[in-house]
């Protein structure tokens, strides 16, 4: 056990789970194998002990995240109710009349996702429920919808001062945490550039690689999942011959938003972290502090339950649904969320065994044995200011945050590991610009890793909200997110050295230089991608990559979707030639 704790081996279970998921497309099995691998490390190879500890850890995670699970179930119930009352269909018809184009539907999705900035879980499932009828009307693939949802979840929350994410960062940042968080916003390149990239790519109708193929299949054949095995869909129908109304969808969503925001504020004012219960004594002095102090899971569960009760009264009074069908919707809503809950449970368990938050190292520098693989200790033991040039520190922390968040599937866990370390490393410098650039690099890298990780809870819920095959969502959004991450990394590398000098050492100068470099590189990249796409260069790259992997797997390539759909002779000849080569 001691051999694995606090070493690079702490990340191996996640690597096993991710690689298996991408190869087999069996998410449940892959996650369980990763969890079991970590449990075996901790148990010294004893399978009985490993399995026992595995299920104990899983039970603890279910208990600790009970509020989030209740919130998910209630959102599933809302989704079923909005279908049964005809609200989803009516809203889709109304929105289709107002939104005339595919780009308009995508921008409306981005707009709604931007407005729901309080919590990423809430964002993913609410935007999916509201916008799926609209995007389906315009034949937008579920993979594209999942990307738009995911890209307006964590990237929006991490730059919103009033959000559960702001509260998490403020908690790790120490005194005046909210002020510190607000000062990181201009430096958070991944979040800001993701929003810019997403909006411009929609306006330019710029899609590439597997996302482009999915979109063309959706537009040509109407198959919104590109033939991938889908998550369970809402196969419920509107009750009887009831004529659905837009208000049957709008009222529940508005009520849900209002109740959840109110519950988070109420929870933050009265939740006592020492006792773990709501009391009568004020714990916060203002709204911002209340958001920072709230327990988001229990607040969302409470708020969504109150919203469900209000919605029940509204539906029954307006005769939108019968009492019997309302009650049956509870079980149906729960069933619709079972896949997401199962994947989340496995992902939480994997993160707990790896010890992303861990206990770190003791005063002698030795990893603490805390019942986890203590991934935090490995990072603490290997990152010091003396081991690198001052200007490269932001870039190094960005790369570390990307890796840790991707491997563990948790940006919040990455915050817990790296924010204290980055603060300690940068405490020796009086360079304010470099301090905030480094902290922002941690936040940006953590959000990227969370965005693309197959075992991230936000990624899982974005798939669920869009009713998209989970692995398909991971594969289609990976190039989009990675392009933005590369631009962000280059920005942190260049600006880090500029900020380390007197020219950019002040907060204002450093922020201005960072924004100018980041958005300048993004504009250049988008212009280049646009012309490469119009000239077919991107498609040729995609075909070349696909052909390479097809040869590796001894399978014929069937890449260009235009030719696949239309039965092009050129593609048929290419496939036949590949078959002969394979033989």
Residues in the chain: 583
Burial 132-159 (b: 16+ CB within 10 A, else e): bbbbbbbbbbbbbbbbbbbbbbbbbbbb
Cβ 334 vs Cβ 447: under 8 Å: no
Sheet strands (E) in 166-235? none
Please report where in the chains the tokens 């480094």 appear, as a residue.
438
Say what the pLDDT of residue 341 is: 77
Say what the pLDDT of residue 240 is: 46
Cut 0.75: pTM above it = no
- How far is residue 416's CA from residue 169's CA, in Å, rounded to a whole number? 8
- How far is residue 33's CA from residue 30's CA, in Å, rounded to a whole number? 5
Cβ 329 vs Cβ 346: under 8 Å: no
Residue from 114, 102, 99 nearest 141 by CA: 102
Tens-level pLDDT at each residue, the chain (583 residues)? 677 887 878 878 877 877 776 677 676 787 788 889 988 888 888 889 889 888 888 888 787 778 778 877 887 788 788 778 877 677 767 776 778 788 888 888 888 788 776 667 667 767 777 788 788 888 888 888 889 988 888 888 888 766 667 666 765 665 556 667 778 888 889 999 999 999 998 888 888 888 888 888 888 887 777 666 555 444 455 454 456 787 887 888 788 878 888 888 888 888 777 777 787 778 777 776 776 677 777 887 888 899 999 999 999 888 888 888 888 888 888 887 777 677 667 777 877 887 766 666 666 667 777 778 877 777 666 665 555 577 788 898 899 889 888 877 777 767 766 776 777 666 555 577 788 888 899 999 989 988 888 878 788 888 887 888 888 888 889 989 999 999 999 999 988 888 877 665 677 888 888 899 999 999 999 888 888 878 878 777 767 766 655 554 454 444 444 444 444 444 445 445 544 554 4
- How far is residue 141's CA from residue 105's CA, in Å, rounded to a whole number? 12
Say what the pLDDT of residue 563 is: 46
Task: Please name every residue paired with 116 in a beta bridge, in sequence order, or none if there are none.
Answer: none
Say what the pLDDT of residue 560 is: 46
Say what the pLDDT of residue 583 is: 46
Q: Is the dihedral of CA 139, 143, 144, 148 positive or negative?
A: positive
Cβ 347 vs Cβ 457: under 8 Å: yes
Q: Is the dihedral of CA 21, 23, 26, 28 positive or negative?
A: negative
Cβ 125 vs Cβ 465: under 8 Å: yes
| Residue 400: HSE in the Cβ half-sphere, 13 Å Cα cutoff | 29
Q: How far are the Cα atoms of 364, 376, 381 from residue 361, in angstroms, in the given order? A: 8, 8, 7
State the CB neighbour count (10 A cutoff) for residue 373: 29
Say what the pLDDT of residue 190 is: 92
Task: Please name every residue paired with 382 in a beta bridge, in sequence order, or none if there are none.
Answer: none
Q: Is 331 exposed, middle or buried (0-12, 13-18, 19+ CB in 10 A)?
A: exposed
């Amino acid at each position: 056990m001691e051999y694995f704790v606090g070493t690079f081996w702490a990340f191996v279970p996640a690597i096993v789970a991710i690689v298996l998921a991408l190869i087999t497309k069996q998410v449940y099995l892959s996650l369980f194998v990763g969890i079991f691998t970590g449990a075996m490390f901790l148990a010294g190879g004893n399978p009985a002990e490993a399995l026992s500890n595995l299920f104990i850890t899983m039970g603890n995670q279910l208990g600790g995240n009970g509020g989030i699970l209740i919130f998910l179930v209630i959102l599933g119930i809302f989704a079923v109710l909005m279908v049964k009352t005809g609200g989803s269909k009516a809203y889709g018809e109304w929105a289709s009349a107002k939104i005339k184009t595919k780009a308009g539907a995508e921008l409306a999705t981005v707009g709604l996702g931007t407005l729901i900035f309080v919590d990423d879980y809430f964002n993913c499932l609410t935007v999916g429920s509201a916008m799926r009828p609209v995007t389906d009307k315009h034949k937008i693939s579920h993979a594209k919808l999942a990307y738009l949802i995911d890209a307006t979840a964590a990237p929006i929350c991490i730059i919103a001062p009033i959000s559960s994410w702001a509260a998490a960062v403020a908690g790790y940042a120490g005194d005046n945490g909210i002020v510190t968080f607000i000062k990181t916003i201009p430096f958070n390149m991944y979040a800001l550039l993701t929003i810019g990239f997403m909006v411009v790519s929609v306006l330019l109708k710029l899609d590439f690689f597997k996302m482009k193929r999915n979109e063309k299949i959706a537009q040509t054949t109407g198959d919104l999942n590109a033939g991938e095995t889908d998550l369970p869909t809402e196969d419920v129908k509107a009750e009887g011959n009831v004529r659905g109304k837009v208000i049957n969808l709008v009222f529940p969503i508005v009520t849900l938003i209002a109740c959840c925001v109110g519950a988070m504020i109420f929870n933050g004012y009265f939740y006592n972290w020492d006792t773990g219960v709501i009391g009568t004594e004020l714990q916060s002095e203002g709204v911002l502090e209340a958001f920072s102090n709230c327990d988001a899971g229990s607040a969302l569960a409470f708020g969504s339950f109150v919203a469900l009760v209000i919605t029940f009264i509204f539906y029954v009074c307006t005769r939108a649904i019968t009492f019997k069908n309302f009650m049956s919707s509870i079980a149906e809503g729960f069933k619709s969320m079972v896949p997401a809950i199962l994947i989340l449970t496995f992902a939480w368990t994997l993160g707990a065994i790896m010890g992303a938050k861990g206990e770190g190292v003791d005063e002698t520098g030795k990893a603490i044995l805390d019942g986890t693989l203590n991934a935090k200790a490995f990072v603490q033991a290997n990152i010091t200011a003396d081991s690198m040039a001052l200007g490269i520190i932001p870039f190094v922390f960005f790369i570390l945050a990307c890796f840790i968040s991707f491997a563990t599937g948790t940006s919040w866990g990455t915050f817990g590991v790296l924010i204290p370390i980055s603060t300690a490393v940068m405490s020796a410098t009086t360079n304010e610009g470099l301090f905030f650039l480094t902290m922002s690099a941690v936040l940006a890298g953590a959000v990227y890793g969370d965005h693309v990780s197959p075992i991230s809870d936000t990624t899982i819920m974005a798939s669920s909200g869009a009713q998209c095959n989970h692995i398909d969502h991971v594969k289609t959004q990976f190039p989009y997110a990675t392009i933005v991450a590369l631009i962000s990394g280059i920005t942190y590398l260049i600006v880090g050295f500029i900020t380390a000098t007197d020219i950019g050492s002040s907060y204002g100068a450093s922020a201005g230089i960072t924004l100018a470099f980041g958005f300048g590189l993004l504009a250049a990249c988008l212009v280049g991608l646009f012309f490469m796409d119009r000239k077919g260069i991107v498609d040729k790259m995609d075909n070349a990559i696909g052909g390479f992997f097809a040869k590796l797997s001894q399978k014929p390539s069937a890449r260009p979707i235009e030719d696949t759909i239309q039965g092009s002779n050129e593609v048929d000849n290419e496939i036949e030639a590949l078959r002969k080569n394979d033989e």
